[in-house]
Amino acid sequence: MSGKAGFIYKEGAQILNWKKRYLAIERDKLAYYVKENKKDKKGEILLRTIKDVKRFREYKGRKYVFGIVTTTGRTYYIQGSDDENVTSWVNAVNEAIGNKVAEPAPVVEAPVSQDPPPRAGKVTVADFDTVSVIGRGGFGRVLLVRKRDTKKVYAMKVLKKAVIAARGEIEHTRTEKSVLSKIDHPFLARLYWSFQTAENLYLIMDFINGGELFHHLSQQKRFPEDRTKFYSAQIVSGLEYLHSNGIIYRDLKPENLLLSAAGNIVMTDFGLSKEGLQAKDSRTATFCGTPEYLAPEVIKGEEYTKAIDWWSVGTLIYEMLTGLPPFYTEDEENMYHKIMTADLVIPAFFSAEVADIIRQFLHRDAKERLQDPERIKAHPWFRDINWDKLLRFEIEPPFKPKVKSADDLSNIDREFLDEDVNDDHDPEAPKGPVAPDVFGGFTFAGK
């Protein structure tokens, strides 16, 4: 039986779902691949580490499952196609490791659960089944997960501690969790739980599956003015709430704005936010943000106030109407120069009202910039917005994404969906232990 190979289903080690794999008994190991050509290897089990092979009557509701028990104490759970297929695999592995082959292979009862039970009042990664990869960032991945008891889907942000520490982003990560755990607003992302393991940090949030605003703008090139106004009003409402709670957002851009299934804005990613700025003129000075949306005072390295977020609003409104930010160039230094000095060009098709509010948002003197929420909401461009109804979702969104269900993935980039949820290996990622108290207090459980 040595040299046996064929497709099976294998349960992941850390993310407990099942993936189709091409399993092959090789000279000194049992290797598994994505495809039959063996070009995309996903892992291996050294034959010398295999202690036992067990055939199970049933495992987690699945039939035709066998387990490969290793000397490290781990059991690899593998599902075959039928009784005959499983028997042949069990016998082949036993033969490869020098065990006596029994015909037919004995059947035993599988453990009731291989998952550690969650502690009372808390959740762990074992409380979720992973459905798909839906995003990737500099510190880790975003996964679509389903909670095992309620079957509800969430977005799970998985951040690698070693990467965060190596890149000096510990404070930003703490801030993101801190902001998410405090905010409660219709147009801001909601955090349900956060927790950690020795290697990773986990944030469990709503799965917003209407797609990024960036995706829709890229497809449609530009939005009509009424649609732009609707999104802008929801962003204004979200920023007013953040500012009233002493938080500067600092990273407003289309990539951080999602659409709900109903077509409403959801602001996400608070890693660059700054807390504790309660006073109207509270200032900070950290240079951060996305180049296209930076206010002049940030580029100059000056101290700045919450007014920088309103500059970004003006930039975003202009981009939604035209397809590009007002001072955009591919050369970053030239773009910074234009943000600080170039004339603002208003296209002829802009209404007088939207042209005026953009000019006021993009005033280079922060003291003269439009930044009072009450004045913003009273501006003629927003005259037809009922702000109370907006907060209650009583205004029909001008565009509704094509979403069939709560777990519909049609608006997620195919690049992410094609990733293997069990393959989180990044050879270039920093490695090494992180002091256990670095992320102390990270655990959170919402209402």
pLDDT surpassing 70 at residue 429: no
**7-21 pLDDT, tens per residue?**
998 886 544 567 888
Q: Which residues contact 76 (CB under 8 A, 6 or more apart)?
A: 10, 11, 45, 67, 68, 70
Decide: 80 and 64 in contact? Cβ < 8 Å.
Answer: yes
pLDDT surpassing 80 at residue 446: no
State percent of the chain over pLDDT 90. 58
Check residues 140 and 333 and name the one with the higher pLDDT. Answer: 333
- How many angstroms separate the Cα of 91 from the Cα of each of 30, 102, 272, 281? 14, 7, 56, 74
Query: What is the SS3 assignment for 320?
Result: helix
Superfamily of domain 125-208+410-445 in CATH is Phosphorylase Kinase; domain 1 (3.30.200.20)
Decide: 180 and 205 in contact? Cβ < 8 Å.
Answer: yes
| pLDDT band for position 27 (cuts 50, 70, 90) | confident
- CATH number for the domain whose boundaries are 5-108: 2.30.29.30
pLDDT surpassing 60 at residue 417: yes
Q: Both tokens of residue 356?
A: 């005026």
Sheet holding 153-160, edge to edge: 128-136, 140-147, 153-160, 200-206, 191-196, 444-445
pLDDT of residue 281: 84
**75-84 pLDDT, tens per residue?**
888 999 888 8
Q: What number is the average pLDDT over the span 99-124?
A: 60
What residues are paired with 77 via a beta bridge?
Answer: 67
pLDDT of residue 113: 43
Q: What does DSSP assign to residue 43?
A: E
Check residues 423 and 63 and name the one with the higher pLDDT. Answer: 63
**Boundaries of CATH 2.30.29.30 in the chain?**
5-108
User: Which one of 206, 251, 269, 309 is the catalytic residue?
Assistant: 251
State percent of the chain over pLDDT 70. 90
213-391: CATH topology is Transferase(Phosphotransferase); domain 1 (1.10.510)
Terminal-residue alpha carbon distance, the chain: 56
Rounded to the nearest 5°, which phi and psi values hold at 177? -65, -40
pLDDT surpassing 90 at residue 324: yes
| pLDDT band for position 117 (cuts 50, 70, 90) | very low
pLDDT of residue 135: 86
Computed over every residue of the chain, the mean pLDDT equals 88
> Smallest Cα–Cα separation from 433: which of 109, 91, 161, 38?
161
Q: What number is the average pLDDT over the span 440-447?
A: 82
Select, from the ranges 39-48, 284-293, 376-385, the one with the highest average predicted confidence (pLDDT). 376-385
**362-381 pLDDT, tens per residue?**
999 999 999 999 999 999 99
Cα(253)–Cα(244) distance, integer angstroms = 21
Query: Is the CA virtual torsion 414, 137, 319, 228 positive or negative?
Result: positive
> pTM of this prediction?
0.72
Q: Count CB-CB contacts under 10 A for residue 403.
A: 20
**Boundaries of CATH 1.10.510.10 in the chain?**
213-391
Assess whether 251 carries a catalytic annotation: yes
Alpha carbon 273 to its chain's center: 17
